[in-house]
Amino acid sequence: MFTSDCLGNDNGMLTIGGIRVDDLVKEYSTPLYVLDEDTVRNNIRNFKKSLDENYEKGMVLYASKALNCLELCRIANDEGIGLDCVSAGEIYTALTAGFPAERIYFHGNNKTEDELEYAIDNNIGVIIVDNYYELDAIEEIAKQKKKTVKVMFRIKPGIDAHTHDFIRTGQIDSKFGFALENGEAYNAVKSTLDKENLKLIGLHCHIGSQIFDDQPFMEAARVMMKFYKQIKDEFSIELDQLNLGGGFAIKYLETDEHIGYDTYMKEVATIINDFCKENALKVPMILIEPGRSVVGAAGITLYKCGSIKEIKNIRNYVAIDGGMGDNPRYALYESDYEVLIANKLNEKADYKATVAGKCCESGDLIQENVVMPKPEKGDIVAVLSTGAYNYSMASNYNRIPRPAMVMVKDKKSRVIIKRETFEDLVRNDI
Ligand SMILES: Cc1ncc(COP(=O)(O)O)c(C=O)c1O
């Protein structure tokens, strides 16, 4: 019935991690992000297990852009995985949480010189170089600081993953990475080999996000391995690592068909292991960067229902006490979500609603055409699978404080991100 195993139904009331959501609302108010710790940890463990089963050496890097905060960095550290960070702010958060610098991989298509310097000063494990500007900047900074920086290149493998235009990244028309087709990637590798302060340890690709189909992942692995062989043939070096990125889809809707990450991992591993055997290449250490698939389905957001506007023959607007400020994904790319009246799970769903936020934007919607039991003011509205790219994309638009985030585990809850206050809103105003 639900998109995630951590959810349940206690006499018509939604539960998460075994806790009734009305109890959470009573204790913490709304809007409220709720995350189930066991689901997050199990997802990490399953990815780790798949890597261990399929490769001699592998590492999971949690793509922290999905949800970066001190507690998530602590959990990632506790589970012994690495971290994909995409800004100095994400790195700062990780380091503040005590995350080991050497297990951080620094991404981004336009890292500023300040960010690169910050990363190099803090001995961040690997910088994933996106373009020539960065390559020069890293070399310059490394030289000045008399350091050797480990780098990988982000490659566009020329794969068109079937997902939303805004989250497709593997094709040549993308702002991310070096293209293979026009020789950019080849020249980047060639020009780095004699650079004293840079150590090229591998290549990276990430073809997009929320990808259900296994074929694009398999094709990307084939393309990347061919490039590994070309590098070996022409420069006589075998790169140590291959980072295949993230992008594994999660269930936003009950009807979403999911192939299972295990299947994907096996299929890709067969391609890589067979290719290496046939071409007498050593199998590189394989890295993956799941973000959404670690935290997405572990999270829900709870709201209270406020005004209801029934516009005859047009639609019914059901307004909640949050919106695009805490979840901009429908406004950005019309993302699907299951929306439930959390306190009426056993009531008949026969009311068609557009769930609207409270921001001054007509586009501030959470979902359209939701069929739910007839809502009333004060009902608890739950939006499912909001663990990824919700808090991390949140804003203070309309000067609305960002909600708190609560972690549930063993039928207990604890705040991991405090609710913002009005004082927080004016903190930097002068
Ligand atoms: C380089 C890179 N790795 C990993 C991810 C995580 O993707 P997902 O959350 O879909 O797993 C992203 C997402 O944008 C990315 O850009």
Question: CATH homologous superfamily for 107-290?
Answer: Alanine racemase (3.20.20.10)
Catalytic residue among 73, 85, 305, 360: 360
Virtual torsion, Cα 357, 362, 365, 371, nearest 10 deg? 100
58 lines ligand 1 (CB under 6 A): no
- CATH topology agreement for domains 7-36+296-426 and 107-290: no
| pLDDT surpasses 90 at 312 | yes
How many Å separate Cα 258 from the centre of its chain? 17
Distance CA 413, CA 29 (A): 13
Residue 38 has which token pair? 């066991």
| pLDDT surpasses 70 at 1 | yes
Assigned CATH for 7-36+296-426: 2.40.37.10
Which residues lie closer than 8 Å to 41 by C-beta, 6 or more apart? Answer: 75, 79
User: Hey, what amino acid is at 124?
Assistant: I
Q: 204, 153 in Cβ contact below 8 A?
A: yes
In 3D, which of 31, 126, 29 has the Cα closest to residue 84? 126
360 is catalytic: yes
How confident is the model over 186-234, as pLDDT tens digits?
999 999 999 999 999 999 999 999 999 899 999 999 999 999 999 999 9
Share of the chain above pLDDT 90, in %: 90
Distance spanning both ends of the chain, measured CA to CA: 50
Mutating to test ligand 1, I would choose from 178, 206, 258 the residue with most ligand atoms within 8 A of its C-beta, which is 206
Arithmetic mean of pLDDT, 348-364: 97
Q: What is the pLDDT at residue 344?
A: 98
CA of 373 from ligand 1 middle (Å) equals 36
In 3D, which of 386, 419, 417 has the Cα closest to residue 6? 386
206 lines ligand 1 (CB under 6 A): yes
The pLDDT-based confidence of 271 (bands split at 50, 70, 90) is very high
Arithmetic mean of pLDDT, 323-337: 97
Arithmetic mean of pLDDT, 235-262: 92
Q: What is the pLDDT at residue 165?
A: 58
Cα–Cα distance list, 76 to 162, 203, 251 (Å): 29, 23, 22
* DSSP E strand stretches across 4-134: 7-10, 13-16, 19-20, 32-36, 58-63, 82-85, 104-106, 126-129
290 lines ligand 1 (CB under 6 A): yes
The pLDDT-based confidence of 162 (bands split at 50, 70, 90) is low
Average pLDDT, the chain: 95
User: pTM for the complete prediction?
Assistant: 0.96
How confident is the model over 18-48, as pLDDT tens digits?
999 999 999 999 999 999 999 999 999 999 9
* In the chain, domain spans: 7-36+296-426, 107-290
291 lines ligand 1 (CB under 6 A): yes
Q: What is the pLDDT at residue 171?
A: 66
Arithmetic mean of pLDDT, 152-175: 73
DSSP 161-183: -SS-GGGB-SSSSSSSSEESTTS
Q: What is the pLDDT at residue 309?
A: 97
Residue 200 has which token pair? 């090229």
| pLDDT surpasses 80 at 161 | no
How confident is the model over 80-133, as pLDDT tens digits?
999 999 999 999 999 999 999 999 999 999 999 999 999 999 999 999 999 999
Q: What is the pLDDT at residue 164?
A: 56
The pLDDT-based confidence of 174 (bands split at 50, 70, 90) is confident
How confident is the model over 357-390, as pLDDT tens digits?
999 999 999 999 999 999 999 999 999 999 999 9
Q: What is the pLDDT at residue 252?
A: 95
Which atom of ligand 1 is nearest the CA belonging to 204?
1
User: Hey, what amino acid is at 312?
Assistant: K
63 lines ligand 1 (CB under 6 A): yes
Which atom of ligand 1 is nearest the CA belonging to 389?
9
